C-alpha cells in the first residue's frame, strides 16, 4: 500500500484510481484475487511504476556494500 500511496502523492495516480486500487487490495484475501484487478487499474499501476522506475530498482544488482548491512 505504501507504493500506491507514493504514486498518489507524486500525482501518478488520481484520487479515484488510488481509492479503487486500495479497495480492491483491501477486499482481496489472496494474491490471486489481487491479480484479478480490472485491466484499467493495472494499466494505471504499470504507468506509475514505469514513471517511478520501480522495475529498474528491482533489476539493479545489489550495491557492493550491501554485505555490511545487519539483518536482524
What pLDDT digit, counting tens, does each position of 9-40 carry? Answer: 999 999 999 999 999 999 999 999 999 999 99
CB 6 within 8 A of CB 57: no
Residue bearing cell 514513471: 51
Q: What is the Cα–Cα distance from 67 to 71, expressed in whole angstroms?
A: 10
Cell of 9: 502523492
pLDDT band at 69 (very low <50, low <70, confident <90, very high): low
Domain edges within the chain: 1-35
User: Residue ranges of the alpha helices (H) in 1-72?
Assistant: 2-9, 15-27, 31-34, 39-52, 54-59
Specify the range with the lowest mean pLDDT, choosing from 12-21, 31-40, 42-51, 53-62.
53-62
Cell of 26: 483491501
Amino acid at each position: 500500500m505504501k507504493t500506491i500511496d507514493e504514486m498518489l502523492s507524486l500525482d501518478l495516480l488520481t484520487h479515484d484510481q488510488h481509492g479503487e486500487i486500495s479497495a480492491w487490495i483491501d477486499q482481496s484475501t489472496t494474491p490471486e484475487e489481487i491479480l484479478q484487478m480490472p485491466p484499467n487499474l493495472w494499466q494505471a499501476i504499470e504507468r506509475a511504476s514505469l514513471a517511478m522506475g520501480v522495475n529498474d530498482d528491482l533489476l539493479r544488482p545489489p550495491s557492493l556494500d550491501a554485505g555490511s548491512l545487519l539483518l536482524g
